[in-house]
């Protein structure tokens, strides 16, 4: 079997890489109006996790199907995140406008912890929506609990999401190629990460259901 034959491992890898890149580009385009970012992120993780599970989704159809199905819920949660983010940003602005070095250090550390925790929960909520059917209230609660249980995992995801951004600052002349490719790699790793933890959660829930029966 040649390296460039249709069924070779190299061509399969290239095919998967292109699919993740397409999903990333679709998400980037759909995030441009800003208000649609929540639905775009949900659709991105929906398709990403399906591919991690070994399924072969029709990329565009699956992406826009999830985008349409989850638009209302994801948009409401995204708007809530924007409001919370605005409050946190304003809090940090007030701290540094009065002189950050003079602000109570304990309160500053507490605000850092709260800010990082809420950012991680904001990231986690969209894969949860993509994977499970739940109300807005349940999704927010689930994201907060999931983040509390999986702090190291979410910290890893948070750092990983900043890698493409850091690369863009480091190599601004290659930004147009670096960010999509870097984000596509991150999508695969993050989707695999979430699916691994969701699988444990699903097995646990399934075990509890069997005990009830």
pLDDT value at residue 108: 83
Residue with tokens 């990460």: 193
Q: Could you tell me if residue 157 is inside a domain? A: yes
Domain count for the chain: 1
**150-155 long-range contacts, CB within 8 A, separation 24+:** 150/124, 150/197, 151/120, 153/193, 153/197, 154/120, 154/121, 154/123, 154/124, 155/116, 155/120
What range does the domain containing 60 cover? 9-212
Give the pLDDT score at 209: 45
In a domain, 4, yes or no: no
Question: Is the residue at 3 inside a domain?
Answer: no
The answer to whether residue 163 sits within a structural domain is: yes
The pLDDT of residue 210 is 44
**26 domain-assigned:** yes
DSSP 8-state symbol, 22: H
Q: Which residues of the chain have pLDDT under 50?
A: 1, 4, 209-213
Q: How far apart are CA 146 and CA 157, in angstroms?
A: 13
Is residue 46 within 8 Å of residue 130, measured between CB atoms? yes
Nearest-angstrom CA–CA distance, 52 and 68: 22
> Locate tokens 């097995």: which residue?
203
CB atoms within 10 A of CB 111: 16
Is there a domain that residue 102 lies in?
yes
The answer as to whether 32 is a domain residue is yes
Give the C-alpha distances (Å, rounded to integers) separating 108 from 2, 102, 116, 130, 202: 59, 10, 12, 34, 38
Tell me if 1 is assigned to some domain: no
The answer to pTM > 0.75 is yes
């Amino acid at each position: 079997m040649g390296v460039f034959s249709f069924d070779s491992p190299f061509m399969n890898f290239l095919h998967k890489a292109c699919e993740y890149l397409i999903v990333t580009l679709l998400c980037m385009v759909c995030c441009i109006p800003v208000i649609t970012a929540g639905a775009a992120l949900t659709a991105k993780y929906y398709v990403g996790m399906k591919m991690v599970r070994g399924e072969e989704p029709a990329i565009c159809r699956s992406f826009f199907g999830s985008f349409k199905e989850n638009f209302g819920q994801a948009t409401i949660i995204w708007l809530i995140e924007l409001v919370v983010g605005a409050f946190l940003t304003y809090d940090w602005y007030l701290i540094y406008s009065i002189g950050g070095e003079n602000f109570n250090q304990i309160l500053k550390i507490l605000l850092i912890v709260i800010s990082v925790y809420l950012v991680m929960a904001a990231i986690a909520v969209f894969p949860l929506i993509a994977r499970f059917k739940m109300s807005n209230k349940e999704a927010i609660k689930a994201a907060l609990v999931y983040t509390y249980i999986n702090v190291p995992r979410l910290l890893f995801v948070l750092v990983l999401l900043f890698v493409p951004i850091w690369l863009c600052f480091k190599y601004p002349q290659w930004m147009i190629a670096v960010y999509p490719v870097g984000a596509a790699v991150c999508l695969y790793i993050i989707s695999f990460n979430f699916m691994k933890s969701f699988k444990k959660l699903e097995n646990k829930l399934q075990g509890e259901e069997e005990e009830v029966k």
